[in-house]
Amino acid sequence: MSMTDTIRAKLTEKFSPLHLEVIDESESHHGHAGWREGVQTHFRVRIATRNFDGLSRVAQHRAIMETLDDELKTTVHALAIEVLPSP
């Protein structure tokens, strides 16, 4: 399973998002810190979920980071998070 698929699966299982995009931005960071040949290391997540209703932005981001803790400790170097309003 690719890292993109792993991130998507974990976020889907934890938050049941109404909208979820997991974008691999690794190639646009070629040669930068944390980049590794052939490894998905840099991601952008766009997520809308009712699980975040009433939570502060910090709490929303913390929940995502905690869900992806193992990946952030091993493979993922950078994670940009965009929480979208739930429809």
The reported pTM is: 0.86
Can you tell me the distance from the alpha carbon of 82 to that of 46, in angstroms, rounded to the nearest whole number?
A: 5
What is the domain range of residue 20?
A: 3-83
Give the model's pLDDT for residue 6.
Answer: 96
Q: For residue range 31-83, list pLDDT tens digits in order.
A: 655 545 555 788 999 999 999 999 999 999 999 999 999 999 998 888 999 99
CATH of the domain at 34: 3.30.300.90
Overall number of domains in the chain:
1
